[in-house]
A and B are shown apart, each in its own frame.
Chain A
Amino acid sequence: MEARSDNSPGHIRARTRALREHFTQVPLLGWLSGALVAVLLERFLGTPLANLMGLPKVPVLFGCVVVLKSPLLIPGTLAYLILVYVLPVGIIARLSGIVLNRLAVWLFNTSVHLSVIIHLCLLYGILTIWSDVSAYRLLMLKLTLIAVMVTLSLNVINGYMGEFSCSHPGFMALGAYAASIVTLILFVDDKVFGTALLPEFLGPFLFPVALIAGGMVAAVGAIAIAIPSFRTRGDYLAIISLAFMFIVKSMIENLEIVGGPRGLSSQPDFVNFPTLFVWTVASIWIINNFVRSVLGKALNAVRDDEMAADAMTVNTRRTKFVAFLFGAFWAGVAGGLLAHVLRYVNPGTFGIQKLAEVLAMVYFGGLNSVYGSIVGAVGYSLLSEALRPLELFKWIIIPLLLILVMIFRPTGLIAFKEFNVLNLIRPKGKPEAGYKTKLSVADKTS
């Protein structure tokens, strides 16, 4: 980018360093504003711009699919990406850095909660506008958000507590079926479950109840894993949990009332993007709250040395129980959401393939880390969609990537890192005297 003003290599290096330094001073608010402008640009000028670059239509997934299908379009796609994403984000972030930093300082000092809400609204806006371009994008986004939720919930057990649990697809299946049955009974005229008990307009309001019911059923199922975990751990528990997954799957396959292997369909369409966004944010918030509390850190203590944890007054049984039930609850909720996004659910979905996928997301992203789970879930979902045109080779490239990650970062990309929202929304650059004092106070209470 800086090649135009080159005099000597050293000069270029100095310029790029200055540029990088400038960008590290941009607060999150700046990046989000840049992204907002970029998605707005794509929304309103995307098609003409794409045509100008010789592309048939707006590249849906950052051009990955287009590039892999017809390599001749690579220059056009690159130009499009730079014009629509890189340049607007870069320019806005750079230009508005100082102004938005002031705003961020002001927001931070007035109310941290307000600041968080504004950031979330911006993020919501960006995702809505981005996914507005095509139905495919919307579906992908929804599945990614659900993947984030599942990955986080598995990370509670596998990462924070360090037990290798393989039962997550089972928990998801329980949640998906339980939530589906509740909504089918209440809001849908169904052959098996009879006529709708409640009018359809109540649906969106009572839908959380159905989801929580799904989560609860999954949590009850988790008791079957939690109790053996008092006495055994490691490989043995992994086998027990794997067995649990198969039991759930074959139980559902043999239950004719829920459709057996054919599955359940025609769930009401309650999960629009805002609902899903709110649920995902809530799950991240609650899980992050939990793992940062003393009760949640007890999971780490049990993982690192159970005997010491016991001697330091930690009730290890209660800790394991809570961790399994909590993780399973969120897996159940995610299952319920998935069933209502796809509006179809069958036991085949929750098999070994799903397990491999979820485990890959957790270990790819990083153990014991909320950041890691988000990065893992989003990264893996994007990658697996983007490489879809490669068909068979996709299943060579993704595992290969996983192996590379495990070689260079054995605990995952971003492991053992605390997710501190305050750090994320904090104004960047040199702190002014006024806000520094306020910050340290906020730090203490966080």
Chain B
Amino acid sequence: MELLEIKKMSHDFGGLRAVNNYDLTISPGQIRGLIGPNGAGKTTVFNLITGIYTPTEGDVLLDGESIVGLKPHQIASMGLGRTFQNLRLWRHMTVLDHIKMARYSKVNYGLIGAFFGTRKRISEEAKIEDIAYSLLELVGVAHLADQLVVALPYGDQRRVEMARALATEPRILFLDEPTAGMNPEELIQMMGIIRRVHSELGLAIFLIEHRLKVVMELCETIQALVFGEVIAEGTSEEIQNDPRVIEAYLGKERVI
């Protein structure tokens, strides 16, 4: 069975149709990409799947069950982890606290444990800390665990956000422009991390990107979204040579 299945999802902002009849299936372990020019509705697709918006029409099925109408935190704890296009980190919290926070729904000690510092809490928090350190090591920022995130360079902040998303134990990782604003060196490192995460944790990944190079190299199949509609779908080569995609990105060829 497909892990995630989206059927004819549409969303209106007032009178504007931001996403129209969007279909998608993701199987376990797959890497899929979504490309498109600015304002095409890529992030809206993400927000619709992760529950920030509720689709006007259509259905989102996870393991065959509809998740439309659930709260974002419920959807997140069912295994849809995400990062944000413009980093949304917590500015007063340390790197370690970020990762620990993402374990919120897996905490079992309850309020009694939180108030009275029971043994259960101490052992559970120690376990959470171990997990956090191993994730930070996976993305290569374990040495910064005690720092406040605002003190880190941009590339490291991206890594922290990635580790934070991984701490929610996702089955599908949604990456919203993971290389936005990065220099070429950071870009290559980030792609390495995405590959490592994919191979070591065996996640499915759904990637929004602006830079074609990244999607072309990472993704098995790619969708191209323009004005809320998928205009092309296929392997990276098919997409690269599709005249409609070229038109959307570069404009129409004019024969003089």
Contacts and interface: CB of A to CB of B under 8 A. Distances in A.
Contacts of B129: 444
Contact of A298 (B81, B101, B125): B101
A307 interface: yes
A300 interface: yes
Interface string B53-73: 000000000000000000111
A294 B92 contact: no
A310 B90 contact: no
A310 B97 CA distance: 16
Given A294-B128, A295-B107, A312 B102 contact: yes
A301 B101 contact: yes
Contacts of A290: 114-115
Interface string B96-122: 010011111111010101111100011
B76 A311 contact: yes
B100 A295 contact: no
B235 to A, nearest CB: 30
Interface residues of B, number: 42
A266 interface: no
A293 interface: yes
A310 B73 contact: yes
Contacts of A286: 115-116
A309 B167 CA distance: 13
Interface in B37-59: 50, 52
A296 interface: yes
A305 B98 CA distance: 12
B88 A445 contact: no
Nearest to B161: A308
Interface in B132-177: 164-165, 167-168
Nearest to A286: B115
B126 A444 contact: yes
Contact of A314 (B84, B91, B101, B116): B101
B114 A314 contact: no
A311 B93 contact: no
B73 to A, nearest CB: 5
B218 interface: no
A7 interface: no
Contact of A289 (B81, B82, B116, B126): B116
Contacts of B101: 294, 297-298, 301, 309, 312, 314
A313 B168 contact: yes
Given A294-B128, A368-B92, A313 B104 contact: yes
Contacts of A445: 122, 126
A308 B89 contact: yes
A307 B167 CA distance: 17
B114 A295 contact: yes
A294 B92 CA distance: 15
A289 B84 contact: no
B30 interface: no
B111 A313 contact: no
A434 to B, nearest CB: 23
Size bracket of the A interface: 20 to 34
A184 B165 CA distance: 55
Contact of A301 (B50, B93, B165): B93
A322 interface: yes
B17 to A, nearest CB: 24
A313 B93 contact: no
B77 interface: yes
A366 to B, nearest CB: 12
Nearest to A287: B115
A322 to B, nearest CB: 7
A344 interface: no
A315 interface: yes
Nearest to B102: A312
A316 interface: yes
Contact of A312 (B76, B113, B116): B76
Contacts of B111: 295, 322
Contacts of B128: 294
Given A313-B168, A314-B101, A307 B115 contact: no
A304 interface: yes
Interface string A269-304: 000000000000000001001100111111011011
A315 B71 CA distance: 9
Given A310-B71, A311-B72, A312-B168, A304 B90 contact: yes
Contacts of A304: 89-93
A314 B90 contact: no
A294 B93 contact: no
A23 interface: no
B92 A311 contact: no
A62 interface: no
A297 B101 CA distance: 7
Contact of B104 (A315, A322, A368, A416): A315
A322 B115 CA distance: 12
A444 B168 CA distance: 23
A297 B73 contact: no
A300 B92 contact: yes
B73 A313 contact: yes
Contacts of A444: 126, 129
Contact of B73 (A300, A314, A416): A314
Contacts of A305: 88-90
26 contacts: A293-B114, A293-B121, A294-B101, A294-B104, A295-B111, A298-B104, A303-B92, A304-B91, A305-B88, A305-B89, A307-B88, A308-B89, A308-B90, A310-B52, A310-B72, A311-B50, A311-B72, A311-B82, A312-B104, A312-B167, A313-B73, A313-B76, A313-B77, A313-B105, A313-B106, A314-B101
The 6 closest A-B pairs by CB, nearest first: A304-B90, A308-B88, A313-B105, A293-B114, A310-B72, A313-B77
Interface of A: 286, 289-290, 293-298, 300-301, 303-305, 307-316, 322, 368, 416, 444-445
